[in-house]
A = this chain, B = another copy of it.
Amino acid sequence: MTTPFPLTPRIATRYISAPTMVRLVQTVGVAQSIRDIAQRVRADFCRWSDFDKTARVANHSDVGVIELMPIADTVRYSFKYVNGHPKNTRDGLPTVMAFGVLADVRTGAPLLLSELTLTTALRTAAMSALAAQALARPDSRVMALIGNGAQAEFQALAFQHLLGITELRLFDTDPAATDKLVANLHDSGLVLTRCTSTAEAVRGADIVTTVTADKTNATILTPEMIEPGMHINAVGGDCPGKTELHADVLRMGRVFVEYAPQTRIEGDIQQLPPDFPVTELWEVLTQRAPGRQSAQDVTVFDSVGFALEDYSALCFVYETAQRLGLGETLDLIPTLDDPKDLFGTLRARRAALRRAA
């Protein structure tokens, strides 16, 4: 994987495969990884105006969506590739698969290519916990977790370690998903309570997290389930035609979003008029806008996942991999003797082969 004539700067892109990311997270620890990413996301959201932001670019098909999520400040650029194919599990494939790149804004050179399937689960959980720190009641201990699929354990651990949640009330239309979650978290220290319906799981919860996968306009949460003081962490409604909350749930309290132009297209608020009032989370984190104002408030985090969270996560992966010496290098970019002589890569190699023969 090396170029033959590295006379000029070689652009070696660090590569973190899915198995290497497993090793990285195991070395750092799952809870600590979520904590580290949450800290970076918070710091990056607090310098919101530094970033050149755009709603993600989506290509929809009958069975799913593929999206690109670019963002940049003046130093680093990142993008994520991510799909959403709810029926993939029938073929043994993940619903959501992702990878991403961190690049140098000064030169355009790619610094890092990383798996982001596992990392997206970590950063989404980190973002949810970060929002809940600002929006949920500080004495929250019980969380309903509706949807027990691929993202669920990460949400559970983020809320345990960053919020102090001690009990989970679980529901999924697929009991096997809940079985899996209970098995994965049996030694987590969390009290795990299986419920037979969303309404049962939600009753009495301080926080309600919805992380379901169907690409439909679902109404997982309806107004009569919502109690005063609840914080709703709505993670699964994240593309056009894919919602989780009854529209009236959104009208029961204040709604907080990552990046309004994207959330109005993709979030649960796609059901509401384009002037429905929302607060961007960076405004709360920088104390430009209030978060929760009383113990009786209903708060809703209409999460869709924003490119800046992946930027923060890629910076975490890049710096952690460097520190731990993890990963390989890729020659994605040719190393040229003369940067204006791209054609020379073909001739030089040919000449070298001739010399070698």
Binding site for B on A (CB under 8 A): 1-4, 8-9, 11, 15, 17-19, 21-23, 25-26, 30, 52, 54, 57, 59-66, 68, 70-72, 74, 77, 79, 81, 83-85, 88-89, 91-95, 97, 99, 101, 103, 105-110, 113, 115, 117-118, 121, 149-154, 174, 176-177, 180, 184, 328, 330-336, 338-347, 349-350, 353
Contacts and interface: CB of A to CB of B under 8 A. Distances in A.
16 contacts: A9-B92, A17-B330, A18-B334, A19-B331, A30-B346, A57-B68, A63-B105, A85-B107, A88-B339, A89-B339, A91-B107, A97-B333, A117-B334, A150-B342, A150-B343, A154-B342
B340 A149 contact: yes
Given A74-B61, A93-B9, A343-B154, A338 B68 contact: no
A50 to B, nearest CB: 12
Contacts of A109: 83, 93, 97
Given A63-B106, A94-B333, 13 more contacts: A1-B328, A3-B18, A8-B92, A9-B93, A25-B346, A26-B349, A59-B72, A64-B105, A85-B106, A88-B339, A97-B110, A117-B334, A150-B341
A334 B4 contact: no
Contact of A334 (B83, B118, B331, B345): B118
Contacts of A84: 108
B17 A331 contact: yes
Contact of A72 (B26, B61, B174): B61
Contact of A92 (B92, B118, B339, B353): B339
B180 A338 contact: yes
Nearest to A348: B22
A59 B52 contact: yes
> Could you say which of A17, A54, A68, A332 has the most chain B C-beta atoms within 10 Å of its C-beta?
A332
SS class, residues of chain A in contact with chain B: mixed
A80 to B, nearest CB: 11
Contact of A333 (B89, B115, B154): B115
> Could you say which of A15, A92, A121 has the most chain B C-beta atoms within 10 Å of its C-beta?
A92
Contacts of A105: 59, 61, 63-64, 66
Contacts of A149: 340
A65 to B, nearest CB: 8
A84 to B, nearest CB: 7
Nearest to A60: B52
B121 A342 contact: yes
A108 to B, nearest CB: 3
Contacts of A62: 74
Given A59-B72, A66-B77, A184-B347, A335 B18 contact: yes
A204 to B, nearest CB: 26
B61 A97 contact: no
Contacts of A349: 19, 22-23, 26
Contact of A339 (B83, B150, B153): B150
Given A184-B347, A350-B26, A17 B57 contact: no
Given A99-B333, A108-B85, A93 B18 contact: no
